[in-house]
Amino acid sequence: MSAVIQVENLQKWFGTRKILDGINFEVREGETLVIMGGSGCGKSTLLRTLVGLLQADEGKVLIFGEDMAHASEDKKNEIRKKFGMLFQGAALFNSLTVGENVALPLKEHTSLDEEIIRIIVKVKLELVGLTGFESLKPYQISGGMKKRVALARAIALDPKIVFYDEPGAGLDPITARVIDHLLMDLTKKLRMTSVVVTHEMNSAFRIADRMIMLHQGKVVGSGSPQEIKESKDPYVQQFVRGEINGPISFKETKEHYLKSIFGGDVGL
Amino acid sequence: MKIQVKNQSEGFVYVTLEGELDFDSSPAIRQEFTKFTEKNPTKVLINLKKVTYIDSSGLATFIELFQKMKRSQGKLVLFNLSEGVRSVFEIAKLDSIFHLAKSEEEALALTQ
Amino acid sequence: MIARLSHFLVTVGRNTQLLLIEVGRLSNLARHFLYWTFAAPLAGKQGLRRHSFVQQLIFMGNESVFIVFLVTASVGAVLALQAAYQLRQFGAVLYTGALVSVSMTRELGPIVTSIVIAGRVGASITAEIGTMKVQEEVDALTTMGIPPVPFLVVPRILAIAIMLPCLTALGDLIGIFGGYLIGISGLGLDSNLYLRQTFEALIPKDILTGIAKSFVFAILIGLISTYKGLSVEGGAEGVGRATTESVVLSIIAIIVSDCICTGVFYYIFP
């Protein structure tokens, strides 16, 4: 299987803080890759850099062999037509109906007739199980349905890759599962490649063909779900089991605390 | 994408498609379809043997043709679909609605 | 004392720096706006979304036409009363109509209408785009390969640029009418005489410079309100803050640029 996305030595700073610290990985055609990690590990920044919402400071993001990180804005928009993205909050356009939301990429990027677009919208909505919802506005449907509409919109142009930002966020466990199933189902049926960013372990193990784990802007573990489960790496273990004590600390050290109160010159 | 339209006999259209039916090529194919549907044919056969790929717009173009044929009470049969092309119809759950034949003979039999 | 002074200077310096950064970003948006309005369509790219432009025009007209009428009519009436108060001392109440029509078309019509539009339309543009930004809708556009400037900014700025001069022309007329009502009812002036005074004093230049000004104000309101919308950060609170800033900044820009425009017109077309 060939790689559709290759990330090489990706680095990103926010001011003086290094958020992504030399990330390397690849995504193979047809697989579902889950990127996981705790809050603030850099996974959202990684995703936003992959799709070109943030500019990488160093390194390459090759999508179908074309470097997203160093492309002109026009070139980026060309590459963007080949993938879809599902946002955490669905990000549907509230002024448009469900049908118009799904139709938008088709209207913008193709010269298809209105009638053909109308048919495509119907087919896509059926794929996500929402036949007959075309004329509703986003505020009239539930959170889970919004995500499904957003998914229909993401696959409107038959992309080969779909990025998912926390697909289960803000949903009840059952609805989150429905979205997971839909994701797996569509990835297989439509022969797409999926890249999923999440911190939900259950969901991650359910959908992943392969996973990578981030901590402080670095890849600390990668492999199949089985390999991740059995990993000896202390970071990975702590995260998989959801333990409080371990190498990932949630508190600053005592030294830090005293330093912040008394300044740097306290003799400790 | 290439298209060849032959009027076999009165009301019988035989179409051969070749190549990829995608977002770029489907508007032109749709126009060709419109040309012969205006004459309200009773039978339309489409040979998809050399079609390597169809996307959503291709599928939608066939759906529209199907609707028009149905309205004028004509018959539309697609045949020689590759596995990939067939799966596009299956995913959209339309493989049982369309007449999809395996061979030309079967297609001809279906139009009788 | 010195410490206080230096603190003051640092604050002034920092604010100036922030202002310059803001102006820089605003002119960057202006550059994108010009590119997508004029250059991109020539390069074969989709610039203006016509449907969205028409929608915005209708929305803006509906939102503001009534308030513009109310405000300009009041301003015209007030103007007539104030003018009469001064002119009475010279026994020249007769010229009230002339004064109202000239100041309405040259100055007050454009500026009052623009301020109403900044408050009504500019604020709603900032709030709308800001909400879209906060809910990742702008990001969604970007990842779909649809640049937000031609999709969101261009139709809105162009709609204001068309709508505001039209509303100004209407506002001028309503303002003059407001003055006329006061003139014939409150000041006891003859209706025919008042109207003759009104239109004899007016020359096309008065109306045209006023409309030209309103066009400049429109572009400023459009740029500021879309810019403030696109730069919203920090949730619903951020949207509220940006909306206020957008209106305040627009009104300042209108008044300052009015000063510049009037100066330019005064010396170039005396």
Provide the ipTM: 0.92
Confidence band (pLDDT; 50, 70, 90) for B111?
Answer: confident
Give the three-state DSSP class for B39: coil
pTM for this one? 0.89
Contacts of C149 (CB under 8 A, 6+ apart): C29, C32, C33, C36
For residue B61, the chain A residue with the least C-alpha distance is A116
Minimum-distance CB partner of A53 among C137, C143, C147: C143
Whether A contacts C, i.e. 3 or more CB pairs less than 8 A apart, is yes
Minimum-distance CB partner of A119 among B55, B60, B87: B60
What is the nearest CA distance from A256 to chain B, expressed in angstroms?
A: 58
Minimum-distance CB partner of A158 among B30, B56, B64: B56
With 0-12 CB in 10 A as exposed, 13-18 as middle and 19+ as buried, what is A93?
A: middle
CB pair distance less than 8 Å for A89 and C132: no
Interface test with B, best of A111, A158, A185 (most B CBs within 10 A): A158
- Within a domain: residue A8? no
- Within a domain: residue A22? no
Minimum-distance CB partner of C143 among A51, A73, A93: A51
Q: Is A227 on the interface with C (CB under 8 A)?
A: no
According to the model, what pLDDT value does residue C30 have? 93
Phi-psi region of B82 (alpha: psi -120 to 50; beta: other; left: phi over 0): beta
Q: Are B54 and B22 in contact (CB under 8 A)?
A: yes
Minimum-distance CB partner of C145 among A53, A77, A93: A77
The CATH number given to whatever domain includes residue A246 is 3.40.50.300
Buried (b) or exposed (e) across A137-157, using 16+ Cβ within 10 A?
Answer: ebeebeebbbbbbbbbbbbbb
Q: From the CA atom positions of chain B, what is the Rg in Å?
A: 13
Identify any residues that bridge with B66 across adjacent strands, giving them in sequence order: none
Contacts of B69 (CB under 8 A, 6+ apart): B37, B41, B44, B75, B76
What is the nearest CA distance from C98 to chain A, expressed in angstroms?
A: 47
Q: Is A113 on the interface with B (CB under 8 A)?
A: yes
Chain B contacts of A189, Cβ < 8 Å?
87, 91
Minimum-distance CB partner of C144 among A48, A80, A89: A80
Range B86-100 average pLDDT: 90
According to the model, what pLDDT value does residue A268 have? 47
Q: Answer whether residue A265 shows pLDDT above 80.
A: no
Rounded CA gap, C248 and A253, in Å?
46
Range A221-225 average pLDDT: 91
According to the model, what pLDDT value does residue C145 have? 93
Range C117-128 average pLDDT: 96
Interhelix angle for A114-127 vs A98-109, to 10°? 130
- C9-54 confidence digits (pLDDT tens): 999 999 899 889 988 999 999 999 999 999 888 887 877 788 889 9
Rounded CA gap, C264 and C213, in Å?
11
- Within a domain: residue A15? no
What average pLDDT does chain A have? 90
Angle ∠(C124,C126,C130) on CA atoms, nearest 5: 120
- From chain B residues 54-73, the ones with a CB under 8 A of any chain A CB are 55-57, 59-61, 63-64
CB pair distance less than 8 Å for A123 and B59: yes
Rounded CA gap, A11 and A13, in Å?
7
Rounded CA gap, A200 and A210, in Å?
15
What is the nearest CA distance from C148 to chain A, expressed in angstroms?
A: 12
What is the nearest CA distance from A95 to chain C, expressed in angstroms?
A: 10
Minimum-distance CB partner of C136 among A76, A78, A87: A87
Q: Enter the tokens of residue A231.
A: 């990993």
- Within a domain: residue A164? yes
What is the nearest CA distance from A184 to chain B, expressed in angstroms?
A: 14
- From chain C residues 99-138, the ones with a CB under 8 A of any chain A CB are 131-132, 135-137
Interface test with B, best of A81, A112, A115, A116 (most B CBs within 10 A): A116
Confidence band (pLDDT; 50, 70, 90) for B18?
Answer: very high
Contacts of B101 (CB under 8 A, 6+ apart): B77, B78, B79, B80, B107, B109, B110
For chain C, which residues make up each domain, given as ranges?
Answer: 48-268
Q: Which chains touch A (3 or more CB pairs under 8 A)?
A: B, C
Q: Which domain holds residue A92?
A: 31-51+83-262
According to the model, what pLDDT value does residue B30 have? 94
Rounded CA gap, A84 and A71, in Å?
18
Q: Enter the tokens of residue A122.
A: 């119907």
CB pair distance less than 8 Å for B92 and A127: yes
Chain A contacts of B55, Cβ < 8 Å?
158
Looking at the structure of chain A, the number of domains it has is 1
- A66-87 confidence digits (pLDDT tens): 999 899 999 999 999 999 999 9
Closest residue by Cα to residue C229 from C118, C163, C134: C134
- Within a domain: residue A17? no
Range B89-94 average pLDDT: 90
Whether B contacts C, i.e. 3 or more CB pairs less than 8 A apart, is no
Interface test with C, best of A61, A94, A146 (most C CBs within 10 A): A94
Q: Which chains touch B (3 or more CB pairs under 8 A)?
A: A
For residue B92, the chain A residue with the least C-alpha distance is A123
Chain A contacts of C137, Cβ < 8 Å?
91-94
Minimum-distance CB partner of C143 among A85, A104, A109: A85
- C216-232 confidence digits (pLDDT tens): 999 999 999 999 999 99
